[in-house]
Homo-oligomer: A and B are copies of this chain.
């Protein structure tokens, strides 16, 4: 199990800091893709969902590209019989939904609104038309698909270690980069997250999350105020995530 080569840990840091760029890139590409579709006269259906509403269910046929334009939304799937894991927490300009251009496609997770959110749905045939007529749309879409893959890779990174502490040490910086609000050099995750929510994201239990979060707070690694987590010691978090 010990690695036989030099993994150059420094590189991981470089990879991670580029996630912020990913966020900006995604917003740009996603917004300009929708704009492009509009200019091409392509109909996109926008719909508003209230907290808890399902956008689609696992197993449904997916024949559209979904874009979240406002609010927060989660993709989750059941596992081990009676638990549910949050696969992705989406913010505006994230895309979701499976739209294979060939072969049958079923949604591989449940999509549910967390806050009130606005979703733009582009039927598959229109996406096809856009790709056919406008290569720029194809590039933007492929960039977005690639960024979605990166998010899954990050999820895998969170799930590889078994200890809840290490998983959270991997997850919290990700949430901070995606939902972070910078104040006084410290980053606060601008979401009300219950321990249960966090547990679903790292496939652990509420109790373990409670325990780890309190430990981190006692060690001044994080601060929790009204369900909002502030990262106070990112160096310690980074160190934890490697162990």
Contacts and interface: CB of A to CB of B under 8 A. Distances in A.
Interface of A: 1-3, 7-8, 11-12, 14-15, 18, 21-22, 25, 28-29, 58-59, 77-85, 87, 98-106, 108-109, 128, 131-133, 135, 138-139, 141-143, 145-150, 152-153, 155-157, 159-162, 166, 196, 199-200, 203, 205-206, 242-243
A34 to B, nearest CB: 16
Tell me how many chains of this kind the complex includes: 2
Given A1-B200, A1-B206, A80-B166, 15 more contacts: A2-B83, A7-B58, A7-B78, A12-B59, A79-B161, A100-B146, A101-B146, A102-B143, A133-B135, A145-B149, A149-B152, A152-B152, A156-B159, A159-B159, A159-B160
A149 B153 CA distance: 9
Contacts of A79: 157, 160-161
Contacts of A100: 25, 143, 146-147
Contacts of A14: 59, 106
Contacts of A203: 159-162
Contacts of A3: 78, 82-84
B84 A22 contact: no
Contacts of A84: 1, 3
Contacts of A77: 157
A124 to B, nearest CB: 11
A132 to B, nearest CB: 4
Contacts of A7: 58, 78
Contact of A81 (B105, B138, B206, B243): B243
